[in-house]
Structure 1
């Protein structure tokens, strides 16, 4: 989904996921919403409220990103690719160049299109999307030139909405409250090219995302969600660029009953573990 690179105010500083379902973990210690609590399975009024807010958020941002044209049509003349591609290294060198801090200059082939979709997904799902300057940089680097201007206007409106920011626990300027760390990061699990031609590609990106606020006073602790985003890419100026996308939930694995980490451990992990540049 969509959200960038280190929002000011102490967020996740890597390009790293939006559209996340946050759950309040029951049974946590006072003052620590993580507190070693296990994931609850019973519903509550607070859970329903938070889920409702997130559903509205996902819809608003998806609408802002899609613009007026709806989903783009698939590449003409392309054929679905049978089976899945290996995740092992292909021997091709990863891209060396960056545009606005985002990898660029992808290969003019299916592997290059997959790598572009993964890297662009990371940028669009990061905390940078909550900072106006970083958001503009991300949009201009990821989207096709004839799409970027319209996307930027719609995204500025969506990400500056004070009610939306308050619902996810952020300040009016998109920063995290004092003493809390904002986390918005996606982790690609796999990619699949469904259609391809020399000038366009349709790529599905399956990923898990982390979203929320880590801190002793957080009411929206960091939680994970699973999505598949289908990107429409076009070969423009010797690189792949996004022209449109659609998103759906899942596939979602069965969750293990693991202990949730403390707020301190989560904050340290976000600060100490950087994101990846995906290329294979």
Structure 2
């Protein structure tokens, strides 16, 4: 890690939620707080496609907050009704593309091969991929977490050389921990899988994040897991107040670690 790289990534995706008015108000409030900054923290925000340009316009690069897209097609253009290309989301202000979320894999046909194509397209366009991986409750119970997740990661980053474009991020999001009815993971639940991801692709990724029922109560424990370089948050950050609380807490925790060190 260079001195210019962030120490901890704290981000959220709004999924299919939020109007343009909501997006503008949220981004405006976030920009106001970003002026003071969160030392050592890299915030990122992934709104729905309808709000991408609005959020990007409000935040602008000067805010230090990265804006991402929830999905993008692997082709630059063509007869792909309803899709958006990487170039189009970049034109709307995205510098990050979320790829392979479990909902995309389950409902929209994002196979490992599709995920791989999207990763390569994102890198070719000069954007940073955020690759989501995770195992089912059945695989977790059977002790196959490491096997399943490392296979997903290896497929997604096949052919990606160290230092090629913006270093991808990997978000480990166990399916059993995601959503309104997800079970909060303990550090013991995730430490082996996070470590295995680093062992497999650590030289090709910028950081490994954790996502799945992250909130203010468990954030400190999750960020303390060896190898976890940040969190990818859902509903706990769907309000500006909630997201700011997580950013403040992460910054305080990081400052405490640095002071102790």
TM value normalised by structure 2: 0.25
* Greater fraction of residues in strand: 1
TM value normalised by structure 1: 0.24
* Greater fraction of residues in helix: 2
Structure with bigger gyration radius: 1
